[in-house]
Structure 1
Amino acid sequence: MDEIKEVHTPYEMGVVVPKKVSDQIGEGYGHDCVEVLVAQFHRVGLIVDRVVGLHDEFLKLLAPVEILGKAAAELQLKKRTHIGVDIQFEWDEAEAFIRQADGSFFSWCERFRCYNHMIYGIVNKSESAIILKSNCRDVRWEPGESLVWKLETEAIVKEVFPLHDEIKRKQLLKCWALNWWDLTNQPIDEIYAYYGTKLLVIPFFFICIISWAVLFFQFWKRKNSTLLARWQISYSVGAESAYKYMDMEWSSFHSSVGLVKKWGDGKAEDKENFQREEWSGRMMRFRNDAIIILSIICLQLPFELAYAHLYESIRSDIMKFGLTAIYLFAIQYFTQFGGKVSVKLIKDEQNENSEYRANSLVYKVFGLYFMQSYIGILYHAILHRNFMTLRQVIIQRLIISEVLENLMENSLPYIKYSYRKYRAVRNKRKREKGPSGRKSYFNSRVEKEYFKPMYSASVGEELEDGLFDEFLELALQFGMIMMFACAFPPAFAFAALSNVAEIRADALKILAMYRRPVPRVAATIGAWLNIFQFLIVVSICTNCVLLACLYDREGKWDISPGLAAILIMEHVLLLIKFGFSRIVPEEPDWVKANRMKNATQAQNMCSKQLLRNISGGRGAFVTGTQKTD
């Protein structure tokens, strides 16, 4: 990458606008769009630094802590106080609230929400429309209309995106991405602060792996509760309703408030309306799930079984390779199409917030990938009992696909960035029609970040970010090595080496090759936790079936001592899986006590305030009655 010449400044947001071609303000009425935008940013208290790039102009924004505090108060953000109670933030009482680990009042996720509130909260407060000009165009800024939203619809504001903090980014590069001495260590707190918030030997090996997976996920949930308490994120384990408003969109929030306002004094028609909307939403989700399930059964299942049968029937290795290449090309198109259909179906569902919609998308898309990844392998294992072919397919899927996917996901972002940068410089040279040095044009950090690709999901950036693909890759790998542990035990060694290398590769990719991701509030990993637990249960069943196939090669399926031992082992492992979830608590006692203390103190404070209001109102009522008499 080019050497950055810009001195570090802690600007956190960037706005991309077109460069001014000519001075048109003197030619008639109207105000220059960019000048008005900058003036409005100054008016709300933002510090603006204007940087001229190759084709566009970049506005770097920074908000002083006082401005962020006032925006947080307008958003009614709840923050933890020194007595352990979450209360709506008030700037005048800022010292009553606990600071972050780095001494700041707000986390990056909270700051991002405040920036969005200030940037998109600039509206025309006059009674008439304001005419704005931008390079031979007139734009009407209507009363009550958001300025940035209006300019985005007119393609004047091209993008609003978060900027990297170079000092913190380099610290993370040193202690995370480039820290090869401690292979598995990850600075969780620093990452959160910066980014915000997926034979006897064979049975014994299989039992150990299942036990490890069960304990790992149970203790992961316990660790998750500890981190939520440390990062002051309110979430009650086992109750999704406790955090369903953390990432609610404004439209959803206002619609819920409107429903509450419509609720009268318990009238029958109000109750019927609520029940009608509730059941219509449930039926819509049921219909969408049925469409996806039937598509998998009627379309993808025959396709996968046909490929597995042809692969088993063909004797030539060259033809097998060609068939696999055709299959991979076709299945990529099929899964992408299925993902787009899932996104469209979810838009019609009446989900409560973006986290529920994201979970619904995860379940639907993973169903497509689950069928693609495992049905052919199960066909080789159970129907044909060809364990040599089974091992070949597992090696193909793990080694070839993992290597190719890592190469693609780590090289494509840099190729896209280099190509966009090359095109921008070439177009600049063509317009100027003269030789010029490349570095003289491309020397601002904000423009380099603008040319970097977004960290978005392959199924679309509306509901998920790039973590969707990371979790999907891990879930498919986890299912591969767990569901077929008896067939190919060395797969675990390859997965361990691959994941250790991927920790550093993904850290380097996120820090250096992508823009700073937009923070998304989430208290857990959502649907992915249920998927991992589902894979553990399925792996118990599939491995027991594999052991039975190894034991009973003739297919007589007699209940002999060996087969009976396998069936008993299956039931014992299922008992261990569900028993560990009861033995190992998901939430440490100190976290539970802290949460209960918070809830009790908040309830006491609300009760006392309610009593004061009732007493004051009753006193005023009595006084008014006496005066009337």
Structure 2
Amino acid sequence: MDEIKEVHTPYEMGVVVPKKVSDQIGEGYGHDCVEVLVAQFHRVGLIVDRVVGLHDEFLKLLAPVEILGKAAAELQLKKRTHIGVDIQFEWDEAEAFIRQADGSFFSWCERFRCYNHMIYGIVNKSESAIILKSNCRDVRWEPGESLVWKLETEAIVKEVFPLHDEIKRKQLLKCWALNWWDLTNQPIDEIYAYYGTKIATYFAFLGMYTKWLFFPAAFGLLLQLVDFGSLQLLVIPFFFICIISWAVLFFQFWKRKNSTLLASYSVGAESAYKYMDMEWSSFHSSVGLVKKWGDGKAEDKENFQREEWSGRMMRFRNDAIIILSIICLQLPFELAYAHLYESIRSDIMKFGLTAIYLFAIQYFTQFGGKVSVKLIKDEQNENSEYRANSLVYKVFGLYFMQSYIGILYHAILHRNFMTLRQVIIQRLIISEVLENLMENSLPYIKYSYRKYRAVRNKRKREKGPSGRKSYFNSRVEKEYFKPMYSASVGEELEDGLFDEFLELALQFGMIMMFACAFPPAFAFAALSNVAEIRADALKILAMYRRPVPRVAATIGAWLNIFQFLIVVSICTNCVLLACLYDREGKWDISPGLAAILIMEHVLLLIKFGFSRIVPEEPDWVKANRMKNATQAQNMCSKQLLRNISGGRGAFVTGTQKTD
């Protein structure tokens, strides 16, 4: 396969091991762990560069395209061919498979999986255990045992993590994070090539959502700046109808765009790789049940039913625990805050109370999220994607209560629209400022603190001069000290996009549920999201390590949450309009109130009717999928006929010889 060439790529994986203490290892001491590990990496075809840091040694790994191709064949990855059919990859037939948009042969998700296969696939093939040494420690490497897993359990291999490509990272910084001229346009293809499907999908959603926000933002500013006089009570309901229609259409067109992304990016290898996080427990339990099936006994059916209903009851129990905790613990706290806010007269004290409340509630919801993670671990979900969705629903329930119940208290019980608008402004401003400060400052603080501790400990051991500023001489060590791009709750289930989607969902709920009370909130959300695109890009490029690629090509459970918020906003805004029309608070069914009730039913009809008007999948995607399915069916049919014909011919020949 000499004709398969690929542009040289920098080192893509890093392995952290302890530095060798030379004065503690004499001649004949045995097999050094790090030396054996490096030798095994060379044996499987990896290129290794050893870098000595302050306290640790770093092994930078790079695999040539031929080695990646052989690993992909061993993993039986499926890749898209030039005729549009996903076929199991074979290195000898590599020219039949398409390349990525950036010219590389494998996507980042495929390369990462191949690296994991090669790194963790090194096993002891001898018949006896091998004694390894690491700074006067003995480690038994048993036959058939993975070397890297063994060294990780012994805390010798401290971490395996992907490395940034400095050339591509700087290019993305220039054309994406620091490019303020294109407000919502982003290089999605380059983001996908560098980070994978899930992160590319998030930024595609954020860009489309921000672009669509410009219409309600302009409409809301128009209502705020222009005095419509007696027509004001008619203009606001019209604005509300337009907003609901806008939200429904946006998500329908997002589904169309998402299907396009799926057709463009989710090739066979990535879509089939649903277990990127090594979450195999539930998968193996299901496989075990399948293997037991087939005897035709009644107990087989009972085992399946028992597993199914026990899992459902476990999820029901966990959901009940979260709901009861919200009602019994969080609801009284939220109502107490709302009542205290209503009784305070000073605006400065109200602003300070809101800031303290939002700061304190962060820890409360994070604690609730950690409890949710522990509950989810007992559930029998099919894979990590289902577990992550279960976590999303539970944690969002906590945030939903703390974000909106106090505002509903001001709107419905007190009917104080001035206070309501003031609370919305404070919530939007303080929450956005607090979130951005936490998101952008914490990673830098963590990195600076780890770097300071490392340098300080190095000085203490060597007793060097105090005027020396830094011992860092390698970029890989700086990347190692950067924090991981993980979620605030349950980093083993979700990455940092959990917090990004949560922030968008809370913002969407705030501007939608109280649209009639404060229309200019859409303008603030649009400006905030324009800045959010660049801030998130800068954060993920400069402040965090390169994230582990995940294969989810949709926004998952968040789509259901956004659509749920649309239905809730129909109800809340109709209540707000009723408060505007019924100023005396008698709740009489006057013609105006009757019109609001009719409008509520019409909007619900619009919500569920527009989903049929706008198709979720473009015709070209559907036609392309049907074409690929037809070609695959024809190929399988012809191969089957050839096999049958060959078998028939062999059978006839054998019969004649027998005669």
Once structures 1 and 2 are overlaid, which stretch shifts more, 26-35 or 95-104? 26-35
Structure 1 residue 451, shift from structure 2 partner: 0.8
Structure 1 residue 525, shift from structure 2 partner: 0.6
Q: What's the Cα RMSD here? A: 4.4
Counterpart position of 1:384 = 414
Structure 1 residue 267, shift from structure 2 partner: 3.4
Counterpart position of 1:506 = 536
Counterpart position of 2:31 = 31
Deviations, residues 283-332 of structure 1 (Å, cap 9, x unaligned)? 21122112111221222122212221222233455654565455335422
Misfit runs of 4+, over 6 Å: 1-9, 234-248, 621-629
Tell me the SS of whatever aligns to 1:87: strand
Structure 1 residue 578, shift from structure 2 partner: 1.5
Contact residue 29 and residue 131 of structure 1 kept, 8 A: no
**Candidates 248, 251, 259, aligned match of 1:214:** 248
Distance change >3 Å, CA 385–CA 60, structure 1 → 2: same
Distance change >3 Å, CA 6–CA 69, structure 1 → 2: closer
Q: 2: CA distance between counterparts of 1:566 and 1:408?
A: 41
Q: TM-score, normalised by structure 2?
A: 0.89
Tell me the SS of whatever aligns to 2:268: coil
Once structures 1 and 2 are overlaid, which stretch shifts more, 502-511 or 201-210? 201-210
- Note the 1:462-473 alignment, pairs <5 A: 462-473=492-503
Distance change >3 Å, CA 140–CA 547, structure 1 → 2: same
Tell me the SS of whatever aligns to 1:239: helix
Q: 1: CA distance between counterparts of 2:574 and 2:270?
A: 34
Distance change >3 Å, CA 12–CA 466, structure 1 → 2: same
How many residues align structurally?
Answer: 625
Structure 1 residue 563, shift from structure 2 partner: 1.1
Contact residue 380 and residue 389 of structure 1 kept, 8 A: yes
Tell me the SS of whatever aligns to 1:463: coil
Deviations, residues 499-551 of structure 1 (Å, cap 9, x unaligned)? 11111111111101111011111021100111111111111111111001111
Q: 2: CA distance between counterparts of 1:405 and 1:27?
A: 56
Counterpart position of 1:223 = 257
Contact residue 78 and residue 268 of structure 2 kept, 8 A: no
Distance change >3 Å, CA 168–CA 53, structure 1 → 2: same
Gaps of 5+ in 1: none
Once structures 1 and 2 are overlaid, which stretch shifts more, 427-436 or 309-318? 309-318
Contact residue 124 and residue 142 of structure 2 kept, 8 A: yes
Contact residue 248 and residue 353 of structure 1 kept, 8 A: no
Once structures 1 and 2 are overlaid, which stretch shifts more, 6-15 or 376-385? 6-15
Once structures 1 and 2 are overlaid, which stretch shifts more, 489-498 or 354-363? 489-498
Gaps of 5+ in 2: 199-232
Q: 2: CA distance between counterparts of 1:142 and 1:443?
A: 37
Deviations, residues 36-71 of structure 1 (Å, cap 9, x unaligned)? 110011111110000111111110000001111111
Q: 2: CA distance between counterparts of 1:98 and 1:281?
A: 41
Structure 1 residue 357, shift from structure 2 partner: 0.7
Structure 1 residue 208, shift from structure 2 partner: 2.1
Tell me the SS of whatever aligns to 1:58: strand
Q: TM-score, normalised by structure 1?
A: 0.93
Distance change >3 Å, CA 235–CA 348, structure 1 → 2: farther
Distance change >3 Å, CA 355–CA 554, structure 1 → 2: same
Deviations, residues 339-388 of structure 1 (Å, cap 9, x unaligned)? 01110111111111111111110000000000110011111101111111
- Note the 1:486-497 alignment, pairs <5 A: 486-497=516-527
Once structures 1 and 2 are overlaid, which stretch shifts more, 583-592 or 438-447? 438-447
Tell me the SS of whatever aligns to 1:531: helix
Structure 1 residue 247, shift from structure 2 partner: 7.4
Deviations, residues 55-89 of structure 1 (Å, cap 9, x unaligned)? 11110000001111111111111111111111111
Once structures 1 and 2 are overlaid, which stretch shifts more, 171-180 or 421-430? 421-430
Distance change >3 Å, CA 9–CA 622, structure 1 → 2: closer
Once structures 1 and 2 are overlaid, which stretch shifts more, 617-626 or 529-538? 617-626
Once structures 1 and 2 are overlaid, which stretch shifts more, 6-15 or 509-518? 6-15
Q: 2: CA distance between counterparts of 1:614 and 1:582?
A: 46
Distance change >3 Å, CA 125–CA 164, structure 1 → 2: same
Contact residue 5 and residue 444 of structure 1 kept, 8 A: no
Contact residue 275 and residue 384 of structure 2 kept, 8 A: no
Contact residue 247 and residue 521 of structure 1 kept, 8 A: no
Distance change >3 Å, CA 366–CA 349, structure 1 → 2: same
Distance change >3 Å, CA 244–CA 130, structure 1 → 2: closer
Q: 1: CA distance between counterparts of 2:267 and 2:578?
A: 38
Structure 1 residue 197, shift from structure 2 partner: 1.3
Distance change >3 Å, CA 375–CA 365, structure 1 → 2: same
Deviations, residues 591-613 of structure 1 (Å, cap 9, x unaligned)? 01111222233233334444544
Distance change >3 Å, CA 510–CA 263, structure 1 → 2: same
Once structures 1 and 2 are overlaid, which stretch shifts more, 152-161 or 312-321? 312-321
Distance change >3 Å, CA 101–CA 71, structure 1 → 2: same
Contact residue 416 and residue 452 of structure 1 kept, 8 A: yes
Tell me the SS of whatever aligns to 1:4: coil
Q: Report sequence identity in percent.
A: 100
Q: 1: CA distance between counterparts of 2:456 and 2:412?
A: 58
